[in-house]
Chain A
Amino acid sequence: MRFGTKTALRRPRLLTAAVLTVALGALTACGSTAGGTAAGGTTDKVDQSGIAKAQALYNTYLKRPTQIPNATPIGKPIPKGKKITFIACGTPSCNLEAAIIKKATDKLGWTFSEIASDGTPEKTKAAWDQIVREKPDGVIYSATPRAGFEAELQKAKALGIHVTACCTTDPPGNGLDFVIGQPTQSNPVGQAMASWVITTSKGTANSVYVDLSAFPILAELYKGYTSTMADFCKACKVDRLDIPITALGKDVSERIVGFLRSHPDTKYVALSVDGALGVGLPAALKAAGLNDIKVIGEGPDTTTLQYISSGQQQASVAFPYWEEMYSQVDALARIFAGVPLEDKTTVPSWIITKDDMPTDKEIFPVVADMEQQYYKLWGVA
């Protein structure tokens, strides 16, 4: 629109303005009702007995675990020469998992190979097609729902291929021999995070739980967090900020900073996944002048470890990569040796801080002598 002149352009421009106005209006209306917040407690009197219980819980998670997921020696010779294939998922953590599995399979005299996949349904299905063609003795995969390769999984079962998985909501059975990192095993991680928040804040924290609802495996973690908050901290308030998967690596930090600025009473941040949600957060908080925010996460990568060691993040619950990968190799070893799988496996959880972190240079086992304990169970030197 030119100023002071009538043009043929007026109508479409008005239309454009109208579209913008309606769109912003719609966003306004939606934003007032959505946003993923869930109030926990109110400003009740601080519950001292709850704090004491949270402190006790926190103390258990602060102590480095000594028990690996498995406890029963295999007691029979484990056949050598087995071919194990790992289906990668295209993330740095999957690459780390591959290295850990290879170390375990090398120890047992097995052959390890890896099929590259980026975690997309197409690539995952293609990887399983390759499994059916190559017929390894065992397959290990992470964090992909079986629905995407059910037909191939059944073919693998018919071929006598044994399959284990980590970090999936699918229960074991019908072709899937063993699963570790099931949703229920995530619950204690949420409890650990909540115990840290309650203890550190002396039972007064308003916290935001930053969620990634695209990963159903994390739902139980949120339950553990909120239930512990509700049980031990009546005065605490919990909000939930759900991050869309499309925001990962892009504007997660800005979304968290925006939330914190709009909720100035919230001083604690609980990240459901450290590596994906926490990269760049310390700098964003600093740039926004939010210098009194305390952050705990779960599943730190090496960047998070650096943040913790440099004091930019306060704590994290270490993810037991080593234990969960070795546990899957252990399951295959039991199957090949003709020994029944253990009924129960316990995933170790450990809150790490600047003071008790073994190293900030690499992902470490949660159980310090994890490898030796497994080698003892397997009867290998």
Chain B
Amino acid sequence: MTLQSTQPEAATVETVQSHASRGPSTSRILANLDPRKVSALYVLLAIVLVFAVWVPDTFLRTATVRQVFNSNAVIGLAALALAIPLAARVFDLSFAYTMSLSGVTAAHFVADKDWPVWAAVGAALFVALVVGLINAFVVVIMRVDSMIGTLATGSIIQAFITYVTNEIPITNAKLFGTFSNIGQKDVGGFILPVYYMFGIAAVTYFVMEHTAVGRRIYATGFNTEAARLTGIKTKRIQFCALLVSAIVAGWAGVVLAAVLGTGSPTAGTPYLLPAFAAAFLGATQIRPGRFNARGTILGVVTLGAGITGLSLATAPTWAANMFTGIVLIAALATTTVQRKPKTPGAGWRSRFRRP
């Protein structure tokens, strides 16, 4: 499913016009703060207010900011790995397994083969690239539905991991030091994965928002057939999107292994749903209807802030999942469902594009 993308430009123009008398900069700021575009920001503010009252002694601390970013950086990387293929209208359900595979690969070469860290990381990324090639072949060349195709390749990847590791984590003292620094080194209060997340988000933002390639990706995602008829090589776009997804997922897996200090055969799997949640929440933000990097980061931070707040408040064990579900529904409702159909009879179906 790809979210509809028809409204932002028109809405923005209208909003800007309505504030023309206030001056261009004021109008622009107000337009950028439109709840339809940044509803998660308001949710984030609500979260800060609620927890500032609820647990003022622990929430209103710089340590909370660090905790939100440090503990959600890997989710951010995983969500960014999803954003590009989703924008190009292909699912990559195998990314979580790719994370496990690359983490295990890097740990294996460092721990068991005495490879230098850079070589082990390179091998892990190469393995991830191979996974991406397989995904792309299955989805684009063989024309298997991306959701089913990547689910299948994910299953194969997990089988391969189990075959190699017997599901026993790869551990060794060699994983602590240079390798673990990839995920644990603290710079200015934040661990390195936070910087990776922002770095990859910045590159993704630039490519998607400021290059012809980005426009082609969105065009492919909005209407693949129309994009193809205009001359865009949609297959190539989707092929490359899956490759990029696999490489970013591979890097996320290496980082996760470094954070854990172990090559866990199942480390990536739990990131499947949180990453999709963040990516879909991100698609309702800043550029509503488009999977975009800034929105994804906003989604990650919003969900992370709420979950961290609940954790600090010693909320019940079910609260975190409940919170994630509510925020997702609320954000989607705010930015998509609330759009009133312009023509009678144009109901729910018109608000979403077919998969």
Residues of A bordering B, CB below 8 Å = 1-5, 8-9, 12-13, 16, 19-21, 23-24, 27-28, 30-32, 34-37, 90-92, 95-96, 241-244, 246-251, 253-255, 257-259, 261-262, 264, 279-280, 282-284, 286-289, 301-303, 305-307, 309-310, 312, 360-361
If A246-B321, A261-B58 touch, whether A306 touches B34 (CB-CB below 8 Å) is: no
Residue among A30, A247, A261 making CB contact with B315, cutoff 8 Å: A30
A8 to B342, CA, bound (A): 11
Residues A303 and B261 in contact, CB atoms below 8 Å apart:
yes
- Chain A residues within 8 Å of B138, by CB: none
Main SS class of interface, B: helix
**A interface footprint on B56-79 (CB within 8 Å = 1, 0 otherwise):** 001001011011001100000000
A279 to B168, CA, bound (A): 13
Q: How far is the CB of A301 from chain B (nearest CB, A)?
A: 7
If A3-B19, A251-B71, A280-B259 touch, whether A92 touches B318 (CB-CB below 8 Å) is: no
A-B contact pairs, 21 of them (CB 8 A): A1-B35, A2-B14, A12-B333, A13-B35, A23-B326, A31-B310, A34-B316, A92-B265, A95-B167, A241-B314, A248-B270, A249-B267, A249-B269, A258-B308, A258-B312, A262-B313, A283-B180, A283-B183, A283-B184, A306-B176, A360-B173
Residues B340 and A20 in contact, CB atoms below 8 Å apart:
no
B residues contacting the other copy or chain, number (CB 8 A): 76
Residues B269 and A303 in contact, CB atoms below 8 Å apart:
no
Residues B314 and A253 in contact, CB atoms below 8 Å apart:
no
**Does B25 sit at the interface, judged by CB under 8 A?**
no
If A30-B319, A95-B167, A280-B260 touch, whether A257 touches B311 (CB-CB below 8 Å) is: yes
Residues A261 and B67 in contact, CB atoms below 8 Å apart:
yes
Counting from the closest, the 3 A-B pairs by CB-CB distance are A258-B311, A31-B315, A35-B314
**Does B234 sit at the interface, judged by CB under 8 A?**
no
**Does B123 sit at the interface, judged by CB under 8 A?**
no
Residues A31 and B314 in contact, CB atoms below 8 Å apart:
yes
In chain B, positions 175-231 with a C-beta closer than 8 Å to chain A are 175-176, 180, 183-184, 186, 191
**Does B46 sit at the interface, judged by CB under 8 A?**
yes
In chain B, positions 40-91 with a C-beta closer than 8 Å to chain A are 43, 46-47, 50, 54-55, 58, 61, 63-64, 66-67, 70-71
- Chain B residues within 8 Å of A303, by CB: 169, 171, 260-262, 264
Residues A279 and B262 in contact, CB atoms below 8 Å apart:
yes
Residues A31 and B313 in contact, CB atoms below 8 Å apart:
yes
Q: How far is the CB of B295 from chain A (nearest CB, A)?
A: 17
Main SS class of interface, A: helix
Q: How far is the CB of B351 from chain A (nearest CB, A)?
A: 13
- Chain B residues within 8 Å of A261, by CB: 58, 61, 63-64, 67, 312
Residues A254 and B321 in contact, CB atoms below 8 Å apart:
no
Nearest B residue to A28 by beta-carbon distance? B54
If A96-B168, A259-B314, A288-B66 touch, whether A1 touches B260 (CB-CB below 8 Å) is: no
Residues A287 and B191 in contact, CB atoms below 8 Å apart:
yes
Q: 4 additional contacts, CB 8 Å, given A249-B270, A279-B260, A303-B171? A: A8-B340, A13-B35, A257-B311, A286-B186
Residues B71 and A259 in contact, CB atoms below 8 Å apart:
no
A255 to B33, CA, bound (A): 32
If A9-B340, A249-B270 touch, whether A258 touches B171 (CB-CB below 8 Å) is: no
A36 to B318, CA, bound (A): 12
- Chain B residues within 8 Å of A19, by CB: 326, 329-330
A302 to B175, CA, bound (A): 12
Residues A34 and B315 in contact, CB atoms below 8 Å apart:
yes
Of the candidates A3, A8, A32, A253, the one having the most CB atoms from chain B within 10 angstroms of its own CB is: A3
If A19-B326, A261-B67, A303-B169 touch, whether A2 touches B15 (CB-CB below 8 Å) is: yes
- Chain A residues within 8 Å of B319, by CB: 27, 30-31
If A261-B63, A283-B261 touch, whether A92 touches B173 (CB-CB below 8 Å) is: no
A37 to B317, CA, bound (A): 12
A307 to B43, CA, bound (A): 38
Q: How far is the CB of B142 from chain A (nearest CB, A)?
A: 29
In chain B, positions 322-338 with a C-beta closer than 8 Å to chain A are 322-323, 326-327, 329-330, 333-334, 337-338
A259 to B244, CA, bound (A): 37
A284 to B50, CA, bound (A): 25
A295 to B308, CA, bound (A): 21
Nearest B residue to A289 by beta-carbon distance? B63
Nearest A residue to B323 by beta-carbon distance? A27
- Chain B residues within 8 Å of A306, by CB: 171-173, 175-176, 261-262
Of the candidates A13, A264, A287, the one having the most CB atoms from chain B within 10 angstroms of its own CB is: A287
- Chain A residues within 8 Å of B184, by CB: 283, 286-287
- Chain A residues within 8 Å of B326, by CB: 19-20, 23
Nearest A residue to B273 by beta-carbon distance? A250
A253 to B3, CA, bound (A): 34
Residues B321 and A283 in contact, CB atoms below 8 Å apart:
no
- Chain A residues within 8 Å of B321, by CB: 246
Residues B312 and A249 in contact, CB atoms below 8 Å apart:
no
Residue among A28, A37, A302 making CB contact with B168, cutoff 8 Å: A302
Q: How far is the CB of A27 from chain B (nearest CB, A)?
A: 5
Residues A251 and B307 in contact, CB atoms below 8 Å apart:
yes
A23 to B327, CA, bound (A): 9
Residues B166 and A95 in contact, CB atoms below 8 Å apart:
yes
Residues A243 and B317 in contact, CB atoms below 8 Å apart:
yes
A250 to B315, CA, bound (A): 17
Residue among A2, A254, A361 making CB contact with B71, cutoff 8 Å: A254
Residues B71 and A287 in contact, CB atoms below 8 Å apart:
yes
Residues B66 and A287 in contact, CB atoms below 8 Å apart:
yes
- Chain A residues within 8 Å of B70, by CB: 284, 287-288
- Chain A residues within 8 Å of B327, by CB: 20
Residues A242 and B317 in contact, CB atoms below 8 Å apart:
yes
Residues A262 and B54 in contact, CB atoms below 8 Å apart:
no
Q: How far is the CB of A303 from chain B (nearest CB, A)?
A: 4
